[in-house]
Amino acid sequence: MTGSETADAGVATRPDGLPGRDASGRAEDRFARVVETSPIALVLAAATGRIELVNRQAERLFGYDRADLLGKSVEFLMPKRGREPIGRRKDGTEIPLEIGLNPVDIDGEPMVLASIVDITARREVEREWEEQRLELLRSNADLEEFAYLASHDLKAPLRGIANLVQWIGDDTAATANPETLENLTLLRNRVTRLQMLLDGLLAYSRVGRKHAAVEDVDVAVMVDDIVAMLTPPPGLVVAREGAMPMIRTHRAPLRVVLENLIGNALKHHDRTEGRITVAMRRVDGMVEFRVGDDGPGISPWFHDRIFMIFETLASREDVESSGIGLAVVKKKVEGHGGRIHVESAPPARGSTFVFTWKEAVT
């Protein structure tokens, strides 16, 4: 019989006839090479915490030769200190780690294979992000404080100017020529616009400054109250569509949003007759509101711009507007975990403002 025939069935023969490694031995070699060349540091420890095996990446990570580590406790490399795992290198430096633990059974002995990743770079990025976030919060707070103080301090002298314009108009009404009276009217309108601008700045700066108590809000009653206050012209109708269940939230911010959207629909309608609708529904854990109209519509080019502060579509000579209302709306909606957008596609008539609102948990 040939050598290959006399060889054990589970053992391969080499060309020279000498026995070679069997299939299981070759598989173990391949697995050992995978472990050794893994880009992740691997440490195998017995149930007692004694280190039984480390790979090349573990040597690089901690700065030790494996001979210095075998038989040592894992706490030699990863001392228990606080909630975040850390590693201690040979030079004494400590590094933050991410550790994955996998129980394994080797020859009937329970062990743990730890995969270890140095997350120093990740922590540095997170630290930079946190610094940027805090700086942005500080910057926003400073801007809001400036807007509040500036608008508040300017209101008093502006009221004085408004009074002077009124007195001059009263004193010269009988003797001034038409051009002078027209100029006084223009001046009065400019003062009124500035007052609206300052009121808008005050409202914008106050968003998020005060946290009122959460309460159950009857949206249907709120919409009816808003409509009664706005007193639409006889030809314009504001109607609720569908059910409007109670929601639990801050009352004032939601009222400001609905009041602005309904008021804008009335203010910018281009016909003496029209219909504005308000609807709501619960969807994906949020409350969705839709305020629609059959007005002239809004070009897609303006769909994002109208939510920017000081942006307004209509000429301020035609419609009194501070250009701050929708910026306040957007800020309040996002402050309550929601998003807002407009749906409109001229030449088809009509626009619908859609916003989501997160209910309070408690």
Question: Residue 286's domain is classified under what CATH number?
Answer: 3.30.565.10
* Helix axes of 178-206 and 325-335: crossing angle, nearest 10 degrees: 10
Residues 78 and 202 in one domain: no
Neighbours of 295 (CB within 10 A): 22
226 and 198 assigned to the same domain:
no
Cα 304 from Cα 307, distance rounded (Å): 6
Q: Tokens 């038409």 sit at which residue?
A: 178
pLDDT class of 322 with cuts at 50, 70, 90: very low
- This model's pTM is above 0.75: no
Domain hosting 139: range is 135-206
Number of H helices, E strands in the chain: 9, 12
Domain membership of residue 316 (yes or no) is yes
Statement to judge: residues 226 and 112 lie in one domain: no
Q: Are residues 70 and 35 in the same domain?
A: yes
| Strand ranges inside 160-228, DSSP E | 215-217
For position 230, what pLDDT does the model report? 85
- CB-based contact 42:114 (threshold 8 Å): yes
Q: Is residue 130 part of a domain?
A: no
Report the amino acid identity of residue 236: L
> pLDDT grade, residue 296 (50/70/90)?
very high
In this predicted structure, which of 3-7, 41-45, 182-186 has the lowest mean pLDDT? 3-7
In the prediction, which pLDDT does 310 show? 46
- Partner residues linked to 46 by β-bridges: 111
Q: For residue 129, give every residue at least 6 positions away whose Cβ sits within 8 Å of its Cβ, in sequence order, or none.
A: none
Distance CA 51, CA 77 (A): 10
- 220 and 346 part of one domain: yes
Same domain membership, residue 325 and residue 261? yes
Task: Yes or no: say if 197 and 322 are a contact pair by the CB < 8 Å rule.
Answer: yes
DSSP state of 13: B
Strands 236-241 and 247-249: unpaired
Q: Do β-strands 351-357 and 340-343 pair in parallel, antiparallel, or remain unpaired? A: antiparallel
Given a contact cutoff of 8 angstroms between Cβ atoms, the answer to whether 200 and 148 are in contact is: no
Angle, alpha carbons 323-154-191 (nearest 5°): 60
Final residue before a domain boundary, out of 55, 88, 122: 122
- Per the structure block, which two tokens stand in for 79? 């001392």
Q: Dihedrals φ, ψ of 282, to 5°?
A: -95, 130
Domain shared by 152 and 276, yes or no: no
Residue 344 reports pLDDT greater than 60: yes
Q: Residue 117 corresponds to which tokens in the numbers above? A: 């990743």
Q: What angle do CA 29, 33, 34 make, to 5 degrees?
A: 120
208 versus 322: the higher-pLDDT residue is 208
Q: Do 41 and 58 touch, CB atoms closer than 8 A?
A: yes
Asked whether residue 257 falls in the same domain as residue 342, the answer is yes
Q: Are residues 287 and 351 in the same domain?
A: yes
Q: Is residue 257 part of a domain?
A: yes
pLDDT band at 240 (very low <50, low <70, confident <90, very high): very high
Look at residue 126 and tell me whether its pLDDT is greater than 80: yes
Q: Report how far residue 334's alpha carbon sits from residue 110's, in angstroms, rounded to the nearest whole number.
A: 52
Residue 279 has pLDDT above 80, yes or no: yes
Give the mean model confidence (pLDDT) for residues 267-280. Answer: 94
Within a domain: 129: no
Domain count of the fold of the chain: 3
Query: Across the beta sheet with 274-283, what order do the strands follow?
Result: 236-241, 274-283, 286-293, 351-357, 340-343
Predicted local distance difference test score (pLDDT) of residue 24 = 61
Write the DSSP symbol of residue 215: E
Asked which of 206, 232, 255 is the last residue of a domain, the reply is 206
